[in-house]
Amino acid sequence: MTDTDRHNSPKSLLVVGGTSDIGRAVASTYAARGWQVTLAARDTEGAGRNADDIRTRTGAHQVAVQHLDILDTGSFEPFLDGLDALPDTVVCVVGMLGDQTRAQEDADHATTVMRTNFEGPALFLEMAAARFAARGHGLIVGVSSVAGDRGRASNYVYGAAKAGFSAYLSGLRNRLGKTDVHIATVKPGFVNTSMTADMDLIGPLTAEPEAVADRIAALETRPSDVVYVLRAWRLVMFIIRAIPEALFKKLSL
């Protein structure tokens, strides 16, 4: 491909977690803007349904689906090698809330929650970041969680994994800070998705998937390091982090 071809060809997006509601919203937002989009997921049938929905809603035709199991770390390098081209942007929205009570008693379940939210995404983005750095530019967006800002009894296994992921993204951002590879951490807070369907969400602190997608897409022109999708969450988590541990451990959160 010549330099002219690269300049004229549409930009490309890879969404890791292509069956999720947020992943679908992100992919739809980018596809509507003329980007080539690839949805990567373990469940390719589910991702395929999302791809069909995106094509119908946006009229975009360049929406592809690729198989990727975020727990199969040995598949990451072959997956990246097999892409038609290195994407301009990677958005990782992989997540598994899991069950806290079960995780306390079932080490296998706790392991799956931790690996899905931290180990797999971090190792995949490390490989993508190395290729972006070699190329000289790119945007990597990791969707983390406010649950990682402080451990709480109600979801500390999930929160610990997200805290690790946020710390990883911070370190990667620091390592590549002098390059044109930008690393963003996005913390949506509560989002109205199938994953939270059984939760009693707080309206003013709950975002729609499309709002998360818009904040992520805005990073293409206005890079930012850490993004709370709803600004109220920045204040809420500042207050929660400021509570002394002696008092915090007595609270039911």
As annotated, the active-site residues are 158
| Contact between residue 27 and residue 209 where contact means Cβ atoms under 8 Å apart | no
Exposure of 101 in the CB half-sphere (CA atoms within 13 A): 0
Residue in the structure block whose two tokens are 């296994």? 157
CA distances 54 to 21, 31, 57, Å, are: 12, 8, 5
